[in-house]
Copies of this chain bind each other. A is one copy, B any other.
Amino acid sequence: MLTLGIDGGATAAKWALRDDSGKIKEGVSEPIDGHTYRPESKARLVKVLNEIKAAAGNEKISAIYAGITGTSSDPENNGEIIEIFQSIFGEIEIEIVIDMVLGYRAHFDFGEGIFLYAGTGSIATYLTETGKVVRAGGWGYLLGDEGAGYWIGREAIRRTLTAIDTKSAITKGSLEAEVLDFTKCKDWNGIKEFVYSKDRSAIAALAKPVISLAKKGELAAQDILAIAADYLIDLVLQIESVVAKPDLPVIFAGGITEAGDFIIDLINIGIGREVSLSKVRIANRAAEIAAENLA
Give residues in A with beta carbon < 8 Å to B: 135-136, 139-144, 154, 157-158, 161, 165-167, 192, 195-196, 238, 241-242
Do A161 and B142 touch across chains, with their CB atoms under 8 A apart?
no
Q: Do residues A242 and B167 form an inter-chain contact, with CB atoms below 8 A?
A: yes
Q: Which chain B residues border A136 with CB–CB below 8 Å? A: 165
CB-CB under 8 A from A139, the residues of chain B are 158, 161, 192
Complex Cα–Cα for A166 and B238 (A): 7
**A161 interface neighbour in B143, B196, B241, Cβ under 8 Å:** B143
CA distance A238 to B242 in the complex (A): 41
Closest-by-CB residue of B relative to A162 is B238
In the assembly, what is the distance between CA of A164 and CA of B143, in Å? 14
- CB neighbours (8 Å) of A144 from chain B are 158, 161
Given contacts A135-B165, A165-B136, A241-B166, contact A154 B158 (CB under 8 A): no
- Residues on B with beta carbons closer than 8 Å to the beta carbon of A161: 139, 143-144
13 residue pairs A–B, Cβ–Cβ below 8 Å? A135-B165, A136-B165, A140-B196, A142-B154, A143-B157, A143-B158, A143-B195, A144-B158, A165-B238, A165-B242, A166-B241, A166-B242, A167-B242
Closest partner residue, chain B, to A200 (CB atom): B142
In the complex, what residues of B have CB within 8 A of residue A166's CB? 238, 241-242
Name the residue in A142, A144, A161, A196 with the highest tally of chain B Cβ atoms < 10 Å from its Cβ: A142
Excluding A142-B196, A167-B242, 8 further A-B contacts by CB distance (< 8 Å) are A135-B165, A136-B165, A139-B161, A139-B192, A142-B154, A143-B154, A144-B158, A166-B242
Residue of B nearest to A154 (CB): B143
Closest-by-CB residue of B relative to A141 is B142
Nearest chain B residue, comparing its CB with the CB of A203: B142
* B241→A140 contact, CB < 8 A: no
A141: chain B residues at CB < 8 Å are 142
Q: Which B residues lie within 8 Å of A142 (CB)? A: 141, 154, 195-196
Bound complex: CA of A196 vs CA of B141, how far in Å? 10
A15 to chain B, nearest CB (A): 27
Residues of B within 8 A of A135 (CB): 165
- Cα separation A135 to B187 with both chains bound (whole Å): 13
List the B side residues contacting A157 at CB < 8 Å: 143
Collect the chain B residues with CB atoms within 8 Å of residue A140's CB: 192, 195-196
Q: Please, which residues of chain B bring their CB within 8 A of the CB of A242?
A: 165-167
Q: Tell me the minimal C-beta distance from A137 to chain B in angstroms.
A: 8
On chain B, the residues within 8 Å of A154 by CB distance are 142-143
The residues of B that contact A195 with a CB separation of less than 8 Å are 140, 142-143
Query: Taking the nearest CB of chain B, how far is it from the CB of A241, in angstroms?
Result: 7
Residues on B with C-beta less than 8 A from A241 are 166
Closest 5 CB pairs of A and B: A142-B195, A136-B165, A166-B242, A143-B195, A143-B158
